[in-house]
Amino acid sequence: MLKGVVSVPGDKSITHRALLLAALASGTSEIIGPLQSRDCQNTVSCLRALGIEIEEHPRRTIVHGVGLTGFRVPGTVLDCGNSGTTMRLLAGILAAQPFVSVLTGDESLLARPMDRIVQPLRQMGALIKGRMDGQFAPLVIRGGPLTALRYELPVASAQVKSALLLAGLAGRCEVRLQGKLNSRDHTERMLVSFGADLTEEHGTLVLSPVDCLTARAVQVPGDISSAAIFLAGAAGVPGAEVTVENVGLNPTRTGFIDVLRAMGAEVSVVETSTSGGEPCGSITVRGRELRGIAIAGEIIPRLIDEIPILAVTAAFAHGTTTIKDAAELRVKETDRIQALAAELSKVGVDITVQPDGLTITGPTTWRPGEVNSRGDHRIAMSLFIAAALSGESISVTDADCVDVSFPGFQEILTSIVGKGR
């Protein structure tokens, strides 16, 4: 049973972007309520290596921007750790800086596809080398003058979209993007609020050159993906009730709410403010007996990071839930399709792998056992929720990775978890 009112740490995607845009701006920016987690720390340390002065205080970070091409030659390799957002977005910026830089990361990041940014950045004139002709990091980027880009996005990836917009911004050249643009749009919203020239023309995203960005304060809302862990956990347990306050409500991130409602959950959302174009408010879920549904198509990019916890919700629901069109899950911090099926089936979940998703039939007769996060923070947290609600003794190993996105997760879980399922 989960019961309580909680807040979650700042949004990871928005924090990365605030750090990067503040570094590119002219003047000093204050980031209020940033996520100070391992993933965002990778962006901070890479920016410091590139000559950006950053002051970190409890609940706020000050960034002294150097302008669009004021980055300094790094004295060392830039280590992005586990963070795909750090590597891909920074690659876009570095493509326009007049020096050579090297981006690397942990074992998981070195196995994730980089050709999706390398190819279009090469089209803009950047010289990029990487393992297997740029398919994988480490990446060596020889930045310099870039040319305008017209590009059709083949995957709905905010990291690719953002890398190309940031390359155009720093390179002061036009970027026109079409195709699969329906991923999270934090970069677009924040670019506009920092004074970039970004418009939408008949379904094409158009970034036009500007000389500089203007430093500003950024208020970071709570991370809806962290909130979703508790909310989707509570949804299928009659009697449970969880409210998460001060959380981002950007519609490109709220797909899991639509899914929970379609499964029969009671969800209420109250929008209380907007800052930097990002709506923010509170979400309450009251637990109900849920039914399995089909999750596929256009909604997938709006809930891509919530599929691990929705798989747990589905394990508590009655009937079959199918998840399709989610092949991107195979190239996240781990192959999340394989990981979810392998780990949840160890403790009794009826779950099968599909090429681009999963099939889960509930409700589950849980079994005690040991499950492993495979070093993936979202898998770890989803398994902790399954363990807490199962009524069985389930232990989660390799769980340190939770700190990648959600420091303090265990304390909040302990504060809201009660007796019974």
Instruction: Give the binding site for ligand S3P (CB under 6 A).
Output: 13, 16, 85, 157-159, 162, 183-184, 304-305, 328
Q: Toward ligand S3P, which CB reaches closer, 216 or 336?
A: 336
Q: How far is the CB of 336 from ligand S3P (least distance, A)?
A: 10
* Cis geometry, peptide bond prior to residue 279 (ω within 30 degrees of 0): no
Our CA angle for 310, 315, 321, nearest 5°, is 70
Kindly write down the DSSP assignment for every residue of 30-77, as one continuous string: EEES---SHHHHHHHHHHHHTT-EEEEETTEEEEEEE-TT-PPPPSS-
Instruction: Count Cβ atoms below 10 Å from residue 108 Cβ, excluding itself.
Output: 19
Q: How far is the CB of 411 from ligand S3P (least distance, A)?
A: 23
What's the Cα-to-Cα distance from 187 to each of 145, 383, 410, rounded to whole Å? 22, 30, 30
Q: Toward ligand S3P, which CB reaches closer, 100 or 331?
A: 331
The dihedral through the CA atoms of 91, 45, 20, 306 has a sign that is positive
Q: Toward ligand S3P, which CB reaches closer, 85 or 254?
A: 85
Q: How far is the CB of 11 from ligand S3P (least distance, A)?
A: 9
Q: Which residues are catalytic?
A: 305
β-strand pairing of 175-179 with 241-248: unpaired
Dihedral pair phi/psi, residue 6, rounded to 5°:
-135, 165
DSSP designation for 233: H
Q: Toward ligand S3P, which CB reaches closer, 188 or 343?
A: 188
C-alpha 39/C-alpha 64 separation (Å) is 20
Q: How far is the CB of 189 from ligand S3P (least distance, A)?
A: 12
Q: How far is the CB of 112 from ligand S3P (least distance, A)?
A: 8
SS3 per residue for 285-347 = EECCCCECCEECHHHHHHCHHHHHHHHHHHHHCEEEEEECCCHHHHHCCCCHHHHHHHHHHHC
Instruction: Count Cβ atoms below 10 Å from residue 111 Cβ, excluding itself.
Output: 14
Q: What is the largest CA-CA distance in the chain?
A: 62
Q: Toward ligand S3P, which CB reaches closer, 120 or 287?
A: 120
Asked whether the beta carbons of 347 and 318 are under 8 A apart, the reply is no
Q: How far is the CB of 292 from ligand S3P (least distance, A)?
A: 24
Q: Toward ligand S3P, which CB reaches closer, 165 or 349?
A: 165
Q: How far is the CB of 237 from ligand S3P (least distance, A)?
A: 26
Asked whether the beta carbons of 267 and 283 are under 8 A apart, the reply is yes
Q: Toward ligand S3P, which CB reaches closer, 79 or 328?
A: 328
